[in-house]
Amino acid sequence: MNTLDQIVSANRHALVQRWQSLFDRAPPAHVQVALPRRVLAWHVQDEALGRKAGLPRVRIT
């Protein structure tokens, strides 16, 4: 699942499997399918732009 079209058309089971492969854990138990879809779409776009590290870690004080 490496394109936005694949993410948009994927069912919940496929989205959960992809989430687990990327983050080494299941998504939160009772979220609507829109959250994994948005997070995975963001991840695909982030990789396409060459930013494989994800969001920068910021310390809130």
The pLDDT of residue 21 is 92
18 domain residue, yes or no: yes
pLDDT confidence of residue 15: 95
- Mean of pLDDT values over 7-11: 95
Structure-model confidence comparison of residues 6 and 50, the more confident one: 6
Distances from the Cα of 46 to the Cα of 12, 15, 37, 58, angstroms? 22, 17, 14, 18
pTM assigned to the model: 0.76
Residue type, 39: V
Residue 13 lies in a domain: yes
Q: Quick check: is 58 in a domain?
A: no
- Total domains in the chain come to 1
pLDDT digits (tens, 9 = 90+) for 13-56: 999 999 999 889 999 989 999 999 999 999 998 888 887 655 56
26: DSSP letter? P
